[in-house]
Amino acid sequence: MEDLKLIKDLGTALDPDGPAPHERMRARVMTGVTSAAGPQLGWRQGPGRRPIVWAVPLVAAAAVVGIGVTVAGPLGNQPSGAGITAPRVDPGAPDAGRSEINLDARTILLAAAEQAGKERSTVPAAGSFIYSRFTGVGWESDQKGKNGTLSWVHDAWYSVDGKKSGMGWHTQDGFVPDTYTEEFGTCPGKVIQNVQKQGFGDPYCDGPGYISDLPTDAAGALKYLRQPRAWQSWSPFLDGQPSSAAQRGTDDDVFNNSWMLLRGHQLPPASQAAIFKALAMLPGMQVVPKAKAADGRIGVAVGRVSEPADDGSAVRTELIFGRKDRTIIGLRTILNDPARGIKDRVHTSMAVAEKVVVSTVGLRPDGSRVKPIDD
């Protein structure tokens, strides 16, 4: 079979020097596929989008993290003296810089709504807890100029009926900013010190974990999502004060509140679907066809970009959906800071690991327990 071997060798010699230009090719394919699919699915293509505005991008990002870690650079309209440090970036992010509008955000969100609506409706028992875990990776720098990468695991227990104290448990490894042991925004008056590699807990005061009264229509859900939520007062950058009225109810709040509700709470399927439909009503959504969550899963992301701050920096916050079933799998923030030469860097990335109902606060699905914080 010498002749076939010669041909195979020739084929090897003719192999292209590098990999296929997948970013370009995939975008081309998916644009064609999506445009071909839209009418068949009965989904209306969204209107032209304009850039959106984020008033307090990294404060919002910190709220999304839900742990109030020392974050942020002078990227938004944070109050002065709020413990702001230099921005965080992930210089090694392999999939950064892929913001392309080549899928329709509305289509993705409506698909997510459709999927959510198919979920089996279950009402957890009163007295139980919604347990959720998410993992995260990020990069931070502090006011002393130090920086580094960090990873964390965050467990949360929300009281189903809101009548018991919930709890958050946070374990982190990696870089510790010098301001990290400052007061964390949790329930008012609660001061928690970080214990590196050992974890710390904080009470969750924003129950109930099962929200039965969230509207089931898009307009109603949008109105609900514009209302201030407890976690909006957690950020230490707001000096422990709730967001001002001017900062409430923005599209950014809608985006962040959606993530917080979806990742840690249980909602009736119709309400969950309504959240995605509400998000589909927001202008300025972008799509990232291939976004990696903190656990390595690849999804398709729908994101919003902040209005550039005075120094030109801006953050895009992305909700990451499973590429097959459109289930929400994570969230990440992407930093653009031209003054520092930072372009499309992954700033933080989180992934929803699991969500179950447990009988006791502090109980994990693997049987381990965390001692509740006595508040």
For position 329 contacting another protein by CB under 8 A, the verdict is yes
# residues near another protein by CB under 8 A: 62
Which of these segments, 57-65, 197-205, 322-330, 340-348, binds another protein (CB under 8 A)?
322-330
Q: Which of 138, 137, 176, 131 is nearest to 155 (CA)?
A: 131
Q: Which of 29, 82, 195, 219 forms a contact with another protein (CB under 8 A)?
A: 29
The CA distance from 19 to 17, in Å, is 7
For position 105 contacting another protein by CB under 8 A, the verdict is no
Dihedral Cα 210, 240, 69, 286, nearest 10 deg: 70
Q: Which of 92, 365, 371, 375 forms a contact with another protein (CB under 8 A)?
A: 365
Question: Residue 53: exposed, middle, or buried by beta-carbon count in 10 A (0-12, 13-18, 19+)?
Answer: middle
User: Among residue numbers 35 through 94, which ones bind another protein (CB under 8 A)?
Assistant: 36-37, 41
For position 9 contacting another protein by CB under 8 A, the verdict is yes
Residue closer to another protein, measured from CB, 340 or 355: 355
Cα 375 to the center of its chain, rounded Å: 28
Q: Which of 59, 192, 300, 305 forms a contact with another protein (CB under 8 A)?
A: 300
For position 32 contacting another protein by CB under 8 A, the verdict is yes
For position 214 contacting another protein by CB under 8 A, the verdict is no
Within 10 Å of residue 37's Cβ, how many Cβ atoms?
13
Give 333's strand partners.
317, 348
Which of these segments, 24-32, 75-83, 93-101, 253-261, binds another protein (CB under 8 A)?
24-32
User: Among residue numbers 278 through 297, which ones bind another protein (CB under 8 A)?
Assistant: 289, 297
Q: Cis check for the bond before 228: say yes or no (omega within 30 of 0).
A: no
To the nearest whole angstrom, how small is the minimum distance from the Cβ of residue 121 to another protein? 11
Which of these segments, 19-27, 46-54, 81-89, 171-179, binds another protein (CB under 8 A)?
19-27
H or E element at residue 131: strand 129-141
To the nearest whole angstrom, how small is the minimum distance from the Cβ of residue 343 to another protein? 25
**In this structure, is the dihedral angle defined by the CA atoms of residues 116, 304, 254 and 44, taken in order, positive or negative?**
negative
Q: Which residues contact 369 (CB under 8 A, 6 or more apart)?
A: 360, 362, 363
The CA distance from 149 to 348, in Å, is 10
Q: Which of 56, 71, 84, 111 forms a contact with another protein (CB under 8 A)?
A: 111
Q: Which of 351, 344, 342, 352 is nearest to 147 (CA)?
A: 342
Cα 58 to the center of its chain, rounded Å: 12
Which of these segments, 149-157, 162-170, 193-201, 351-359, binds another protein (CB under 8 A)?
351-359
Contact positions vs another protein (CB under 8 A): 1-4, 6-11, 13-16, 19-22, 24-26, 28-30, 32-34, 36-37, 41, 103, 107-108, 111, 119, 122, 124-125, 128, 130, 266, 289, 297-298, 300, 322-327, 329, 354-360, 363, 365, 367
